[in-house]
Structure 1
Amino acid sequence: MTSGAGLFVSFEGGDGAGKSTQARLLADRLRGAGREVVLTREPGGTELGLLLRDAVLHGDHVDARTEALLYATDRAHHVASLVRPALERGAVVLTDRYLDSSVAYQGTGRDLGADEVEQLSLWATRGLLPALTVLLDLDPDVGRARLTSAPDRLESEGDDFHRRTRLAFLDRASADPDRWLVLDATRPADDLAAAIGERVDALLAAGVPGAGDAAGTVEVTS
């Protein structure tokens, strides 16, 4: 669940739940404590990932199996080229979405089978799972009302699709409470950040060493 000396944290939840905001707040907190932080996302955490992101979210029609394979391709490259090297040098890696999004959206939302999609991503990443997955739980209608840009292919799916993905996230969290932290995304951002920071501080105090005297930053924002 960790690789090398680093700590791997993922943020999950529906559209508009505040994942990017909370990832950035946690990054600021950790950098202030002198740790190296890699802030990234899926899809799109690498140059290749940006191409795959455009294809899967904004391209022409992509069938469900192709969609799942594109996400797995992005994840394999993301982990091999960015996530694992950062963990091995002792960084804290924070990612906006990871494997659990594929299980929820493609496995359950697209009816491809949660187990099959999970195994695909586990194979692609050589079994790498986060030490902590933060689920920002929010009613899909509320989340989509928060969006300020034109919806992508997944955001444009119907109400039933988004209800099923929300339940898929909650079911996964219930089945593995040691890895997951489930928070009500309607709470104030500062309250959420405090709860997340407390859990991360506990993980770091449990034995994950720091990143050295100077806190470096590798951040993907495009």
Structure 2
Amino acid sequence: MTTQYPGYFISFEGIDGAGKSTHIDSFAMLLRDRYPDREVVMTREPGGTQLGEQLRALLLDAPMNLETEALLMFAARREHIAQVIEPALSAGKIVISDRFTDASFAYQGGGRGLSLEKLNDLERWVQGRSDGSLLQPNLTILFDLPGSVAESRRSKVRAPDKFEKMDLDFFEQVRQEYLRRAKADPSRFYLVDATRTPEVIWNDLEALEFKL
């Protein structure tokens, strides 16, 4: 169950190398043109706030216990929600986040094997509202790509962080958890076949219809 706000919340998800970063800025510009009366707020996880960005640097590079990693991810998320996401949604703005909670389930749960029950508890604690609902994106655009294809794409870009250095099996497990989440909540997820060319993918995103 998702809490209703005057604004609209969109998240971009996918394994590293799936191509979401190729399209997220253009998608934001598309929405600014399509809804000129609505402010579009771009943000990311981990990050999005001064504290969140400091935690991001630790999370992406520092070795740490798996449960510590998950707790820090959700700590950054709580600050992100309180300082950026909820105020923007309450003001009627469109929020586009490069990753949100689905990434924690995919990476810490699917990839690294943390108990999904523990992640569910953290999700309810950090995103739960007094009415019993959860703050979730209205729309999650999931770029789906086999781990082997994503691996070849990642090798062509910048120096990898600690997650991007993980092996193929890790990313296949991440992918499967993303797909499990999408299957469990089909009304929220829009699945993008990221094996196609960027031009074809963009045509799909341009044609995507949703009601703000």
The answer, yes or no, to whether TM exceeds 0.5 is yes
Shift in Å, 1:23: 1.8
Which segments of 5 or more consecutive residues in structure 1 lack a partner in the other structure?
205-222
From 42, 47, 54, give the equivalent of 2:45: 42
Distance 2:116 2:199 in 1: 33
Are the equivalent residues in 1 in contact too, given 2:151–2:168 (CA < 8 A)?
no
C-alpha distance after superposition, 1:58-86 (max 9, x if no partner): 12x21100110110011100011000101
Give 2:184's aligned residue: 175
C-alpha spacing 1:46/1:107, structure 2 compared with 1 (3 Å): same
1:67-216 counterparts in 2 under 5 A? Answer: 67-126=69-128, 127-147=134-154, 148-199=157-208, 201-204=209-212
SS state at 2:137 partner: coil
Contact 1:134 1:196 (C-alpha < 8 Å) held by counterparts: no
State whether residues 41 and 97 of structure 1, in contact with CA within 8 Å, keep that contact through their aligned partners in structure 2.
yes
Distance, in Å, in 1 between the alignment partners of 2:197 and 2:82 is 35
Which residue in 1 is equivalent to 2:10? 9
> CA contact under 8 A between 1:41 and 1:96: conserved in structure 2?
yes
- Superimposed CA distance per residue, residues 154-177 of structure 1 (whole angstroms, 9 cap, x where no aligned partner): 111122111111011111111111
Alignment correspondent of 2:27: 26
Code of the residue aligned with 1:15 in structure 2: it is: D
What amino acid is aligned across from residue 166 of structure 1 in structure 2? R
SS in 1 for 2:124: helix
In structure 2, list runs of 5 or more residues that go unmatched.
129-133
In structure 2, relative to structure 1, the CA distance for the partners of 1:159 and 1:193 (3 Å cut) is: same
RMSD over equivalenced CA pairs, Å: 1.5
Determine helix, strand or coil for the equivalent of 1:38: strand
Which structure 1 residue ranges, 4+ long, deviate > 4 Å from structure 2? Answer: none
Displacement of 1:3 in angstroms is 4.0
- Tell me, yes or no, if the aligned pair for 1:80 and 1:125 is still in contact at 8 Å: no
Partner amino acid for 1:58?
D
Give the distance between the partners of 1:100 and 1:118, measured in 2 at CA: 11
Identity of aligned residues (%): 43
2:47–2:76 CA contact under 8 A, matched in 1: yes
**TM-superposed deviation, 1:112:** 1.2
1:42 and 1:97 in contact (8 A); partners too: yes
TM-score with structure 2 length normalisation? 0.89
Give the Cα–Cα distance (whole angstroms) in 1 for the partners of residues 106 and 142 of structure 2. 12
Secondary structure of the residue aligned to 1:195 is helix
Q: TM-score, normalised by structure 1?
A: 0.85
Aligned pairs, number: 202
